[in-house]
Copies of this chain bind each other. A is one copy, B any other.
Amino acid sequence: MHPLISKDSKWVLQEDGTSKETIVQNETLFALSNGHFGTRGSLEETSRTPDYSYSESTLVNAFYDSEPIEYGEWAYGYAKNHQTIIPVPNGKKLTLTLDGETFDLETGSTTDHKRMLDLEKAVLTRTFTWTNTQDKSVDVKIERFVSYDYPELLVQKVWVTPHEDGSELELTAELDDLKEMGQTKGHQDSHDPRKKVLKERRFDSTDLESEEHTLMHITPHSTDLNLIVGATNALSDASAAYHRDGNTETWKVETRKSQTVSLERWVAYGFIFTDESEKEEQSRQVDDLLSKVKEEGYDSVKEKHLDYMKTFWSTSDIQIDGDDTLQTGLRFNLFHLHQAAGRDGLTNMSAKGLTGEGYEGHYFWDTEMYMLPFFIYTQPEIAKQLLRYRYSILPQARERAREMAIDNGALFAWRTINGEEASPYYPAGTAQIHINADIAHAVHTYLQATDDTEFGMNEGLEILIETARFYETYGHYDELRDGAFVLNEVTGPDEYTAIVNNNFYTNLLAKHNLNYAIEWVEKALDEKNEDGQAVLEKVAFEKAELDAWKKAADKMFLPYDEKQQLTMQDDSFFHKKVWDFDNTPEENYPLLLNYHPLTIYGHQVNKQADTVLAQFLFSTEFSQEQKERDYNYYEAITTHDSSLSRSVFGMMASDIGDLEKAYDYFMDTALMDITNMQGNTNDGVHTANMGGTWMSIVYGFGGLRMANGTLHFSPKLPKQWNKLSFTIQFKGRTLQVTIKPEGSEYTLLEGEPLEINHFGEKKVIQ
């Protein structure tokens, strides 16, 4: 059993002792977030012992700084600016001093040091006993949580219980504005594009007036974003000597044996605003919030938080009987997924959530293809907000299409925060035009699962039209292919193959994108549909477009090798050499760090699922034999150097009936971050892989597919488990699916009766 997995509870990750490595490693795993902001699981006093930390960042979703991208050689249309999420003032810094000696893990002796992340409650608890060099001891307990009820709020409480009378106990709480950024070992300069740890403070700060709280206005060096950060504290012992120096508050008390002194601490990270004139209004709101919660008190705010989490788990938990480690690990994944999602329609989910600075806090296609399914089927309101973010950046996507000389429609940025392209390497950036269809597919899945025609007839419709327009304009009819519609010069999901013609995945998804647009435009053409009509007018829709989309979709070229009866990843894929796996030493993986892109691109080798992903997404369109042949071919040449790969192969293994393999893939990835499998968990969790584990359960073992608005299941239980159970939301219903060796049960927990399809047979669930 992994040391983090608790023997006593299937809801807890537990860390014992004070091993430097373990504590550093767990900083990412113990990160807490609510989609608006997140804070890594660093120790409160880590500025004193930087070796116990990799990065103690607190990150506000979409609060980024910018600088021009430097190119060895510039070309027209290149992404202009880096967008880099930046650490904001640290509200976790707490100092405890006993008779003049300040606590840290390298001073005196610390015993019974334990940290515990309670997934059910979303609370991180730390307990230990510290004995200073003068042999004076205190028991310490610290709780920390990030509120969902008050999205601005980081809540902390520390309890100190002295072993002796008569010592001087000093507690200091500071809102650290990072004038000196923490520097730790292992922060060497790295070329690895997946890493990004800032070494310099990237914002300016001004202290603001407040009657009783600390308030600070911060703004990044090079973007027009603004944020108010505030803090307030309440000590249990009113008689304490209190001193305030700027953003630092200190209390001194004389200890009384076994008499606990506690400090409640509230830190607020306001919402981002761009108009500096709002500063006063925004600071007043943060000020008021701090007064309000301080008055409400720790216990009450925590209770609300626990209620919220209870509701979350009631619709989102997955239960596995037969593997306790996995049970905890899965909950850990759902927990992180849930806390990573922006909920305001203006922010999204970064590749690392808010647990680290890896990938600069950018949003990728991961959201739509790996993470949204979980939200669509368990938290559809959050799914909608994530899609509304895409709607909010449509203007930038239109602009980008124009830059790419496409005079119609929109092209979403491959990686971005503010909607502008931030990928400095276009062959694995802008060339991935499948992002458009990925988003359209997510919109369509959301609409099918929710019947949310209000969204469909507004934001959804506009997204579907603009993405379809892009493809229709981008592609052309290739005479040499009997007039098939082709999409050239693109990169598919597999980033070990770039700049090809007719990537199967891209073309298949674009075809569906065109059809989605047709479907929703046809609904909108109904004159009674006022919202839809308004959108059509807004985007200057012309009826001829429908025919053009139909023609392009019908004639979409899908490369296939008749001789081998194999789907071809792109026009030229089978013309390349197969990678020499036999002569590639283990240490040369991931290939991207050890071979020139041209070397990799010139071979048949996959970083991740590409054709197999397409067939998974539209699995009902392909025969089992075809899927199996393709699966076997592509599996043999896939390195899984991307964390997005294994879950897809696992689900398709379920699909083609290889349950053993499906299980192996699933187990390989279910604990990816807990076991630091990719070796870079320090930089943040792999949220897409976490979404992949949810999909592996529900799409893989549950066999869920949606076709024509109906849920299809083909549940299979790996022999290693006794029972598997999950819950999904569908068109207002809550449906529980329980898979046992002897068969499956469908229970309607809420809502109207529902017709589903079970292994091809209709069933009505009442």
Q: B75 to A597, Cβ gap below 8 A?
A: yes
Q: A572-B501, A601-B489, A602-B488 are in contact. Are A592 and B71 (CB under 8 A)?
A: no
Cβ contacts A566-597/B at 8 Å (1 or 0 each):
00000110111100000000000000111111
Which residues of chain A (72-116) have a CB below 8 Å from chain B?
72-79, 82
**A593 and B72: CB pair below 8 A?**
no
**Within 8 Å CB of A576, what residues of B?**
488-489, 501
Q: How far is the CB of A705 from chain B (nearest CB, A)?
A: 33
Chain B residue nearest to A578 (CB atoms) is B476
> Do A193 and B74 touch across chains, with their CB atoms under 8 A apart?
yes
**Cross-chain pairs A/B with CB under 8 angstroms, 26 sampled:** A70-B70, A72-B82, A72-B424, A73-B193, A73-B423, A73-B425, A75-B596, A75-B597, A76-B597, A77-B598, A404-B598, A405-B596, A426-B596, A426-B598, A427-B427, A478-B575, A480-B563, A480-B574, A480-B575, A488-B575, A489-B598, A489-B601, A499-B598, A501-B572, A571-B572, A571-B575
**Complex-state Cα separation, A71 to B423, whole angstroms:** 12
Contacts of A596 in B (CB 8 A): 75-78, 403-405, 426, 430
**A704 interfacial contact with B, CB 8 Å:** no
Chain B residues, CB < 8 A from A431: 598
Residues of B within 8 A of A481 (CB): 575
Rounded to whole Å, the gap between the CB of A533 and the closest CB of chain B is 32
A393 at the interface (CB under 8 A from B): no
Find residues 397-439 in chain A having any chain B CB closer than 8 Å to their own CB.
Answer: 403-405, 423-427, 430-431
Q: How far is the CA of A116 from the CA of B486 in the complex (A)?
A: 59
B75 touches A486 (CB 8 A): no
Q: Is the CB–CB distance between A592 and B424 below 8 Å?
A: no
A601: chain B residues at CB < 8 Å are 489, 499
User: Please, which residues of chain B bring their CB within 8 A of the CB of A430?
Assistant: 596, 598
CB interface residues, A 376-404, toward B, < 8 Å: 403-404
Contact B193 A599 (CB under 8 A): no
Residues of chain B contacted by A403 (CB below 8 angstroms)? 596
Pair A425/B575 contact, Cβ less than 8 Å: no
CA distance A489 to B605 in the complex (A): 14
Copies of this chain, count: 2
Q: Is the CB of B499 within 8 A of A76?
A: no
- Confirm or deny: A303 has a beta carbon within 8 angstroms of a beta carbon on chain B: no
In the assembled complex, the Cα of A142 lies from the Cα of B596 at a distance in Å of 54
Q: Which residues of B contact A489 (CB under 8 A)?
A: 576, 598, 601-602
Judge whether A164 is part of the interface by a CB distance below 8 angstroms: no
Main SS of chain A's interface residues?
loop
Does A292 count as interface, using CB distance less than 8 angstroms? no
We find that the number of chain A residues with CB closer than 8 angstroms to chain B is: 52
**Which 4 pairs show the lowest CB-CB distances between chains A and B?**
A72-B424, A77-B596, A489-B602, A74-B191
Tell me whether B73 and A404 are in contact (CB under 8 A).
no
Chain A, 477-504, CB within 8 A of any chain B CB = 478, 480-481, 486, 488-489, 498-499, 501
Q: Which residue of B lies closest to A568 (CB)?
A: B480
Give A193's nearest chain B residue, CB to CB.
B73
* Chain B min CB distance to A517 (Å): 22
Chain B residues, Cβ within 8 Å of A288:
none
Q: A71-B424, A76-B594, A405-B599 are in contact. List 20 more A-B contacts (CB 8 A).
A: A70-B70, A71-B71, A73-B425, A74-B191, A75-B425, A76-B593, A76-B596, A77-B597, A77-B598, A405-B595, A426-B597, A430-B596, A431-B598, A476-B577, A480-B561, A486-B575, A489-B576, A489-B602, A499-B598, A571-B575
Residues of B within 8 Å of A593, CB to CB, are: 76
Is A69 an interface residue, CB under 8 A from the partner?
A: yes
Task: Tell me the nearest residue of chain B to A563, going by C-beta.
Answer: B480
Question: Shortest Cβ distance from A628 into chain B, in angstroms?
Answer: 22
List the B side residues contacting A571 at CB < 8 Å.
Answer: 572, 575
Q: Across the interface, which residues of B come within 8 angstroms of A73, CB to CB?
A: 193, 423-425
- In angstroms, Cα B72 to Cα A69, docked, is 6
Q: How far is the CA of A74 from the CA of B571 in the complex (A)?
A: 28
Nearest neighbor of A572 in chain B, beta-carbon distance: B501
A78 vs B72: C-alpha distance in the bound complex, in angstroms?
Answer: 10
Q: Name, among A79, A563, A598, the residue most crowded by chain B CB atoms within 10 Å (CB to CB).
A: A598
Contact residues, A190-220 vs B (CB, 8 A): 191, 193
Q: Which residue of B lies closest to A580 (CB)?
A: B405
Chain B residues closer than 8 Å to A425, beta-carbon distance: 72-73, 75
Q: Give the residues from 424 to 462 in chain A that come closer than 8 angstroms, CB to CB, to chain B.
A: 424-427, 430-431
B contact residues around A77 at 8 Å (CB): 595-599
Kindly state the separation between the CA atoms of A403 and B596 in the bound complex, as whole angstroms.
7
Q: Hey, which chain B residues are within 8 Å of A79, CB to CB? A: 72
Give min CB distance, A529 to chain B, whole Å: 36
Chain B nearest CB from A73 CB (Å) reads 4
Docked complex Cα distance between A431 and B488 (Å): 19
Cα A476 to Cα B70 with chains together (Å): 37
